[in-house]
Amino acid sequence: MENHVLSYLDEIVKKVPQKIAYANEKKGYTFQQVYEQSRSIGTFLYRKGLYQKPIVVFMEKDPATIIAFLGVIAAGCFYVPIDDEMPQSRIDLILENCRPDLMICDRETIEKAKNFRFQGTLCLYDEMAAAAEDARALSEIRKKALDIDPIYVVFTSGSTGVPKGVAACHRSVIDYVEQLSEVMGFHEGTVFANQTPLYFDACLKEIYPTLKFGATTYLVPKKLFMFPIELVKFLNEYKINTICWVVSALTMISAFGTFQMVKPEYLETIAFGSEVFPVKQFRLWKEALPEASFTNLYGPTEGTGMCCYYHVQRELKDNEPIPIGKPFQNTEILLLDEKDQLAEEGEICIRGTSVTLGYFNNFQKTSEVFVQNPLNRAYPEIIYRTGDIGKYNDQGELIFVSRKDHQIKHMGHRIELGEIEANVSMIKGIKVCGCAYEEEKGKILLYYAGDLLANELVAKLKEMLPRYMIPNYVEQLEKMPFTANGKIDRVFLKNKYKGEKKYGRDQK
């Protein structure tokens, strides 16, 4: 196996130099252009004396942004992606953590960057990409590279409100790309549609397999995710055959009757993750695309993205969660109980090459979840504790149960908020829902978008759940709040309850 992710680009540019690698609705870059511009950027950074340093990439969501990432790697550095949709306070926290010397901007972002708490150099992508290549210098950098060198730092939310930067190295990303590609069957004819922002690890599923196979990735305009019919038309216009999206993006299409108007004509491979896919919505997809393959992917950023998969090939019961299946090759999943013993149900812990390096400049947080394998007392071996609870079903398939922090104790009962959400999602007329727990008042909060009134929804839930699991507060929303990476924003929901109780319905 290669020990450097750019080996993919080195090989594929010889085979399909003029094929489009990355594109959006306005422009596309061939593999030759990706190769040349990334090497120019690498040379530019080398001439600035930067090596094994964090380089912030602050650009609009654009194919050139991906080339900037690759250019940073070519210089022997690692990229830290940030985005215009991040609040400035969060960006300042990221900059404070990384203390970068240089930030790559485009003409749309450079003025905003001047307002950041940043003392380093601001550089324009276009000027960097026009730099003359120094092949000798880049060759020397490559010779010194190790597979444990970081290539990116991606920031996730922190429980304390301070973002945590997950650092991943060549070895973990290469292992991930190889295993994911094998599971999903990517090939040179794959045409991806990227949904996630480029500052999340989820975009790895498109960026690096595109280089490995000479595939093509189209970046979907963010605004289309508010217009499902136009979104499907985009998929058809660019003959998209493969998507790896968060569940909320898929349900946004199916829940609003889009398939009655238009269907994806070329879509063959559909992967989903980040949250539990309601069976009702999954069936709508399956009915619309009966010949397509559907795969549930599971994994945290700290595990380089995804580490488990399940090809959905059997009929699922109404109340049955779609399994997360089994781990990729070269990965092991340990279910550990509170005594750190193997259990039938326990915290999902990841063992293998996919475990990342830890949190950048944060050894305390790293030591809390990147821990010595408690089952191995013979030599150092780090596993990652996900904070997710899992169990095996009767078929031996791994099931995601809940987050540890979604498990609450209410009225003397241990309750999984995910179980309440799953039951709400089964009710006809419900499009999307989310639960939170207000500890001070001891109240289960339920927010939803759909056609039912709150009292109608509660009446149906009383037929499905024990009394102690009935939400204490229910509110209908026009649309659900989502975090930037497409997950339901439960912190927002909890804060909304504290500030706007008069709009909802407290249950007796």
Element (H, E) at 392: strand 382-392
- The beta-strand segments (E) located in 318-462 are 326-327, 331-336, 345-352, 358-359, 370-372, 382-392, 398-403, 407-410, 413-416, 430-438, 443-450
Neighbouring C-beta atoms of residue 368, cutoff 10 Å = 11
pLDDT at residue 503 in the model:
42
pLDDT at residue 508 in the model:
47
Give dist(CA 110, CA 90) in Å, integer.
17
Evaluate whether 417 touches 408 at the Cβ level (below 8 Å): yes
Q: Which of 163, 154, 236 is nearest to 200 (CA)?
A: 154
What are the tens digits of pLDDT across the range 155-206?
A: 986 655 578 999 999 999 999 999 999 999 999 999 999 999 999 898 999 9
Global pTM exceeds 0.75? yes
Centroid of chain to Cα 243: 13
pLDDT reading at 506 higher than 60:
no
- What percent of the chain is predicted at pLDDT more than 70? 96
Q: Which of 321, 500, 409 is nearest to 417 (CA)?
A: 409
What are the tens digits of pLDDT across the range 361-381?
A: 999 999 999 999 999 999 999
